[in-house]
C-alpha cells in the first residue's frame, strides 16, 4: 500500500458505486483526489452538445454532494488534461492517476498521450473498464475480426462470463492534507442562456440517485411488459436509462445484476421475455461501442463505403432541414418526436427511427445532419449509439435497415399511437382532431378541420413532401447507387 495520494480522473463515470478506479484508489491506501477536467479540445471533433452540457452541470453537482457524504469532494479544473493532471500532482503530491476507459476516437488518442506522458514523468497510471459489459478489444468473431452483425455479436457476448459489480467504497475516502483549488461550476457556463432547457428538469434528475430511481421504477412497473410496450411512445414503456448510462451514473454491470436479481426471485434468468428483450437493448449499446472502436471513421463516414456516393438532395437554404428540426414537417408523428426532443432532451426510440427515416429517405438529406442535431439536443447524446442509429436508418452501416425500408409516417403513427396520446401531447394544435384523421390531417374534410380548429398552412403546415413521391424518389436514388450510378 502507498501513502501518497491518488488522483482519480472522472469523465463518463460520474458515480460512486461499481467504480473500479475509485475502489482501486481507495484500496491503494493514500488520499483520493477525485477530479473532473473540462477539456473541450480533448474531445476531438465531438465536444459536448447543449443538452449534454445541461446534464453534465447537474450530474457534477450531484456527484460532489455524494463525495462530500464520504468526507471527500470533487475538484473541478478546466484546461488541457495533461497540464491539469500534472499541476494537481504537484499540488497534492500524488504519484498515481487512475481513470475509467473511454472508446471514442478523440478520447482514445488523448488517453494514450496522457498515459505515455505521465508514465514518462514516473507516475503510476492505471485505467479500468467502467462502461461496458465487454470491452471492444476483447470481442472477436471466428476469423479474429470485429463483428458487423448484431445477432452473432450478442450471442457471443451472452456466452461470456460477466464481470461482477465492484465492491462498495469504504464509508469515508481519505482526503489530502490540503485540497487543491477548485473551479466554480457555474463559471463553466454549461447551462443554456435561453429558456430552451426549462422543461428538462421536469423529466430528469441527473445523478447516481436519479439513475437508481429510474432503474427501480422500470424494474417494478415496466420491465416484464417491455417487449409488448416499448414501441408505444404515448406510454411509459421504456427504461429511460440511456442518459444515466452515457454519463456513467449507472453501469451496465449494475443493470445486469438487477435483472439477474429479478430472475433469481422467479428461478429463471432473464426474469421474463420483457427482461430478455431489454437486455438485448443493452447489447445494442455494447454493439455500438464495438463498431465505433473498430471503425473509428463512422461518426462522419458510412461504414459501407459505397454509400459515400449517395445522391443526397440539395437543401441550399436549409428550409427542409429547419422544418424537420422544428417539428414543422406536416407529418404529426414526426413533428411530435422533434418537439419532444426539443422540450425534454429525449425522444422515444420508435419515434427516433421514424424521424431519422423521414430525414434521410423522405427528405433525402445526409444522415450526418441528423446526427449533428441529435448530438446537440439529446441529453443521452452518445457518439457510439448516435452513429449506429443514424447509419442504421440510412442503410449505410452494420446490420443496417435495408435500403427499400422507408417508414411511412402515417402508418407508423396509426400503429404505435393509435389513440393519439403522443401526438396530442406534443402537437397540441391537432389535439381536437378525431383519431381517424390525427395522423393525416390533410386528408380530413374541411368541416372536420374547422371543427377541430385546424387551419392547414396557418396553425399547422401542409406536408413538406408527398409520401409516395418521396418514397419513390428515395428508392430510385438507392437503386441508382446499387447500380454504380448507371441509369
- Name the pairing type of β-strands 32-38 and 96-100: unpaired
Q: Are 23 and 169 in contact (CB under 8 A)?
A: yes
Task: Establish whether 296 is an annotated binding residue.
Answer: no
Q: Does position 118 have pLDDT exceeding 80, yes or no?
A: yes
Concatenated DSSP letters of 263-298 = HHHHTSSSSSHHHHHHHHHHHHHHHHHHHHHH-TTT
Candidate list 281, 372, 429, 480, residue with the active-site label: 281
Query: Whats the size of the chain, residue-wise?
Result: 487
pLDDT for res 127: 98
**Burial, 321: exposed, middle or buried (Cβ in 10 Å; 0-12, 13-18, 19+)?**
middle
Q: Please state which of the ranges 240-244, 423-427, 481-485 shows the lowest mean pLDDT.
A: 481-485
The candidate with the shortest Cα–Cα distance to 399, out of 387, 382, 416, 412, is: 387
Average pLDDT over residues 225-247: 95
Q: Which residue has the cell 420508435?
A: 350
Candidate list 188, 196, 284, 442, residue with the active-site label: 284
Candidate list 179, 188, 196, 312, residue with the active-site label: 312
Task: Establish whether 381 is an annotated binding residue.
Answer: yes
Average pLDDT over residues 391-408: 84
Task: Establish whether 242 is an annotated binding residue.
Answer: yes
Neighbours of 261 (CB within 10 A): 12
Q: Are 57 and 191 in contact (CB under 8 A)?
A: yes
pLDDT for res 266: 63
Q: Does position 40 have pLDDT exceeding 60, yes or no?
A: yes
Can 349 be counted among the known catalytic residues? Answer: yes
Q: Which three cell numbers stand for residue 87?
A: 499541476
Rg (CA), the chain: 24
Neighbours of 146 (CB within 10 A): 17
Task: Establish whether 240 is an annotated binding residue.
Answer: yes
Neighbours of 206 (CB within 10 A): 25
pLDDT for res 265: 64
Candidate list 349, 372, 429, 480, residue with the active-site label: 349
Q: How far apart are CA 64 and CA 70, in angstroms?
A: 10
Q: Are 349 and 278 in contact (CB under 8 A)?
A: no
Number of helical (H) and strand (E) elements in the chain, helices listed first? 21, 5
Q: What is the DSSP letter of 181?
A: P
Look at 265 and 139; give whichever has higher pLDDT: 139
pLDDT for res 479: 86
**Burial, 426: exposed, middle or buried (Cβ in 10 Å; 0-12, 13-18, 19+)?**
buried
When pLDDT is cut at 50, 70 and 90, the band that residue 482 belongs to is confident
Q: Does position 198 have pLDDT exceeding 80, yes or no?
A: no
Task: Establish whether 220 is an annotated binding residue.
Answer: no
Can 312 be counted among the known catalytic residues? Answer: yes
Q: How far apart are CA 439 and CA 437, in angstroms?
A: 6
Task: Establish whether 4 is an annotated binding residue.
Answer: no
Q: How far apart are CA 240 and CA 55, in angstroms?
A: 14
Q: Does position 193 have pLDDT exceeding 60, yes or no?
A: yes
Look at 21 and 196; give whichever has higher pLDDT: 21
Q: Which residue has the cell 432503474?
A: 215
Q: Which domains are assigned to the chain?
A: 6-130 (3.40.50.620), 131-164+208-294 (1.25.40.80), 305-481 (1.10.579.10)
C-alpha dihedral sign at 102, 108, 113, 117: positive
Q: Which three cell numbers stand for residue 273?
A: 421475455
pLDDT tens for 423-460 read: 999 999 999 999 999 999 999 999 999 999 999 999 99
Candidate list 9, 256, 367, 392, residue with the active-site label: 367
When pLDDT is cut at 50, 70 and 90, the band that residue 401 belongs to is low
Q: How far apart are CA 423 and CA 43, in angstroms?
A: 37
Q: Are 98 and 9 in contact (CB under 8 A)?
A: yes
The candidate with the shortest Cα–Cα distance to 247, out of 426, 95, 56, is: 56
Can 459 be counted among the known catalytic residues? Answer: no
Can 54 be counted among the known catalytic residues? Answer: no
Q: Does position 267 have pLDDT exceeding 90, yes or no?
A: no
Task: Establish whether 65 is an annotated binding residue.
Answer: no
pLDDT tens for 365-385 read: 999 999 999 999 999 999 999
pLDDT for res 487: 39
Task: Establish whether 241 is an annotated binding residue.
Answer: yes
Q: Does position 28 have pLDDT exceeding 50, yes or no?
A: yes
Q: At what angle do helices 273-294 and 383-394 cross, to 10 degrees?
A: 100
Average pLDDT over residues 270-296: 93
Q: Are 109 and 125 in contact (CB under 8 A)?
A: no
Residue-averaged pLDDT of the chain: 94
Amino acid at each position: 500500500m502507498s501513502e501518497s495520494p491518488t488522483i482519480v480522473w472522472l469523465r463518463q463515470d460520474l458515480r460512486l458505486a461499481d467504480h473500479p478506479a475509485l475502489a482501486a484508489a481507495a484500496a491503494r491506501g493514500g488520499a483520493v483526489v477525485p477530479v473532473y477536467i473540462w477539456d473541450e479540445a480533448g474531445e476531438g471533433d465531438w465536444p459536448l452538445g447543449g443538452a449534454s452540457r445541461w446534464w453534465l452541470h447537474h450530474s457534477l453537482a450531484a456527484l460532489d454532494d455524494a463525495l462530500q457524504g464520504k468526507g471527500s469532494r470533487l475538484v473541478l479544473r478546466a484546461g488541457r488534461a495533461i497540464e491539469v493532471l500534472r499541476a494537481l500532482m504537484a499540488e497534492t503530491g500524488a504519484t498515481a492517476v487512475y481513470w475509467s476507459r473511454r472508446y471514442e476516437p478523440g478520447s482514445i488518442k488523448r488517453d494514450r498521450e496522457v498515459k505515455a506522458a505521465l508514465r514518462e514523468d514516473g507516475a503510476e497510471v492505471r485505467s479500468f473498464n467502467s462502461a461496458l459489459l465487454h470491452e471492444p478489444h476483447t470481442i472477436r468473431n471466428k476469423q479474429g475480426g470485429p463483428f458487423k452483425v448484431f445477432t452473432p455479436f450478442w450471442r457471443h457476448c451472452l456466452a461470456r462470463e460477466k464481470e461482477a459489480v465492484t465492491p462498495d467504497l469504504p464509508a469515508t475516502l481519505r482526503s489530502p492534507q490540503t485540497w487543491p483549488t477548485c473551479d466554480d461550476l457555474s463559471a463553466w457556463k454549461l447551462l443554456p442562456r435561453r429558456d430552451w432547457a426549462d422543461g428538462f428538469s421536469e423529466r430528469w434528475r441527473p445523478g447516481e440517485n436519479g439513475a437508481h430511481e429510474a432503474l427501480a421504477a422500470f424494474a417494478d412497473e415496466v420491465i416484464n411488459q417491455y417487449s409488448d410496450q416499448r414501441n408505444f411512445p404515448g406510454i411509459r414503456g421504456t427504461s429511460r436509462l440511456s442518459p444515466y448510462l452515457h454519463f456513467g451514473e449507472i453501469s451496465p454491470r449494475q443493470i445486469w445484476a438487477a435483472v439477474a436479481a429479478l430472475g433469481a426471485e422467479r428461478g429463471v434468468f432473464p426474469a421474463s421475455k420483457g427482461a430478455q428483450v431489454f437486455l438485448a437493448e443493452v447489447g445494442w449499446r455494447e454493439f455500438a461501442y464495438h463498431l465505433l472502436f473498430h471503425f473509428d471513421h463512422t461518426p462522419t463516414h458510412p461504414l459501407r463505403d459505397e454509400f459515400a456516393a449517395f445522391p443526397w438532395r440539395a437543401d441550399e437554404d436549409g428550409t427542409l432541414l429547419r422544418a424537420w428540426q422544428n417539428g414543422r414537417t406536416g407529418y404529426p408523428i414526426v413533428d411530435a418526436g422533434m418537439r419532444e426532443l426539443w422540450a425534454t432532451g429525449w425522444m422515444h426510440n420508435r419515434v427516433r427511427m421514424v424521424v431519422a427515416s423521414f430525414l434521410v429517405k423522405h427528405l433525402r438529406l445526409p444522415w450526418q445532419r441528423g446526427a449533428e442535431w441529435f448530438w446537440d439536443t439529446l441529453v443521452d447524446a452518445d457518439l457510439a449509439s448516435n452513429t449506429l442509429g443514424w447509419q442504421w436508418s440510412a442503410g449505410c452501416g452494420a446490420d443496417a435497415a435495408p435500403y427499400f425500408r422507408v417508414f411511412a409516417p402515417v402508418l407508423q403513427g396509426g400503429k404505435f399511437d393509435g389513440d393519439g396520446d403522443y401526438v396530442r401531447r406534443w402537437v397540441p394544435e391537432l389535439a381536437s382532431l378525431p383519431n381517424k384523421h390525427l395522423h393525416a390531417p390533410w386528408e380530413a374534410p374541411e368541416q372536420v378541420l374547422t371543427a377541430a380548429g385546424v387551419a392547414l398552412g396557418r396553425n399547422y403546415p401542409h406536408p413538406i413532401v408527398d409520401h409516395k413521391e418521396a418514397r419513390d424518389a428515395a428508392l430510385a436514388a438507392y437503386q441508382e447507387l446499387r447500380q454504380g450510378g448507371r441509369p
